């Protein structure tokens, strides 16, 4: 975050984010009732990733940061995606 700037999110926007997170948590619980086979983990990870994105951008103020820091954080997720792909090359072709 730029040192000379402060960003205060409004209560209403924080509450909306909270509601969205709770909604997604409910979805991730309900979805376990469906038999999605090999995609069970993928669906859980997609929902979790959306939640992480919201927390990072809204609660952790990443949307106010400079491009370098945003790219660094994005790089972590790219790394995570690649590791997941590497693991599932085993599972899908076993």
Partner 1 sequence: MGNEPEVSYLEYQGRHKGIWSWLLSTDHKRIGLLYLYAVVFFFFVAATLGLLMRIELIAPGRTIMEPQTYNGLFTIHGIIMIFVIVIPGLAAVFGNFFLPILIGARDVAFPKLNLFSWYLYMTGAFLGVASQFLGSGPPDTGWTFYVPYSVESGTSVIWALTAAFILGFSSILTGLNFIVTIHRMRAPGMKWMRMPLFPWALYATAWIQVLATPIIGITLLMVIAERVLNIGFFDPALGGDPVLFQHLFWIYSHPAVYIMILPAMGVVTEIFPTFSQKPVFGYGAIVISSLAIAFVGYFVWGHHMFTSGMSYYARWFFSFLTFIVAIPSAIKVFNWISTMYGGSIDLKPPLLYAISFIFLFLIGGFTGLVLGSLATNVQTHDTAFVVAHFHYIIFGGMGFSFFAAIHYWFPKMYGRMYNNKVANIAWGFNFVGFNLLYFPHFIIGIQGMPRRAYDYLPQFQTGHVLSTIGAFILITGLILMVINLMVAARRGAKAPANPWHGVTLEWMIPSPPPHENFDEIPEITTQPYFFGSKDKNKE
The binding site for partner 1 (CB under 8 A) comprises 76, 79, 82-83, 86-87, 89-94
Q: What share of the chain is helix, strand, coil (3-state, %, to 5)?
A: 80, 0, 20
Q: Which is nearer to partner 1, 11 or 93 (CB)?
A: 93
| Minimum gap (Å) between residue 20 Cβ and partner 1 | 25
Question: Is residue 60 helix, strand or coil?
Answer: coil
Q: 67 or 76, CB closer to partner 1?
A: 76
Cα-trace Rg, the chain: 17
Taking every pair of C-alpha atoms in the chain, what is the biggest distance, in angstroms? 54
Distance of closest approach, residue 89 Cβ to partner 1, in angstroms: 5
């Amino acid at each position: 975050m730029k040192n000379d700037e402060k960003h205060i999110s409004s209560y209403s926007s924080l509450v909306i984010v909270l509601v969205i997170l709770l909604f997604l948590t409910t979805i991730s619980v309900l979805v376990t009732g469906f038999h999605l086979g090999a995609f069970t983990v993928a669906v859980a990870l997609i929902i979790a990733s959306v939640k992480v994105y919201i927390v990072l951008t809204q609660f952790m103020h990443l949307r106010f940061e400079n491009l370098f820091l945003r790219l660094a954080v994005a790089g972590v997720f790219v790394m995570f995606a690649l590791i997941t792909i590497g693991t599932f090359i085993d599972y899908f072709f076993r």
